[in-house]
Amino acid sequence: MFGNLKNFAMRKLLERQLKNAPPEQREMITALMEKNPAVFEQIAKEMQDELKKNGNNQMAAAMKVLPKYQKEIMEAMSPEMREKLIQMQSGSAGRFNPNGSIRR
């Protein structure tokens, strides 16, 4: 019973956190979370611990925790997701203006 409720709550929280992310990234992250929720729960717990230690620096917490789970995240990705990830990473290199704003 609580499994479905927990998944629903996690999905809503994720949607709220990713509201400003591009739609492709939102879809990818949501699909990954739904495919292997236990890994993402563990990542969230470790990131919360790091946030407490680092004074709420989310980037530092992510940079420390996420590399530990790179293998599990990549295993959860479908080949299509991996291809999209590669396209997003290669396409983002030239998307910023010299002043830091995003090119459209």
3-class DSSP state of 77: coil
Which has the minimum average pLDDT: 34-38, 72-76, 91-95? Answer: 91-95
User: Per-residue confidence at 82, pLDDT binned at 50, 70, 90?
Assistant: confident
pLDDT for the residue numbered 2: 64
Q: How many whole angstroms separate alpha carbon 2 and alpha carbon 33? A: 17
> Mean pLDDT across the stretch 65-90?
84
CA distances to 10, 36, 63 from 75, in Å: 21, 10, 19
For the cut 80, the answer to whether the pLDDT of residue 95 exceeds it is no
- Strands, DSSP E only, in 1-104? none
Q: How many whole angstroms separate alpha carbon 20 and alpha carbon 15? A: 9
User: Per-residue confidence at 98, pLDDT binned at 50, 70, 90?
Assistant: low
12 C-beta neighbours (distance < 10 Å), count: 10
> Mean pLDDT across the stretch 1-10?
74
- Break the chain into its structural domains and give their ranges: 2-91
> Mean pLDDT across the stretch 4-26?
81
For the cut 60, the answer to whether the pLDDT of residue 23 exceeds it is yes
Encode burial over 28-67: b for 16+ CB neighbours within 10 A, e otherwise. Answer: bbeebbeebeebbeebeebbeebbeeeeeeeeebeeebee
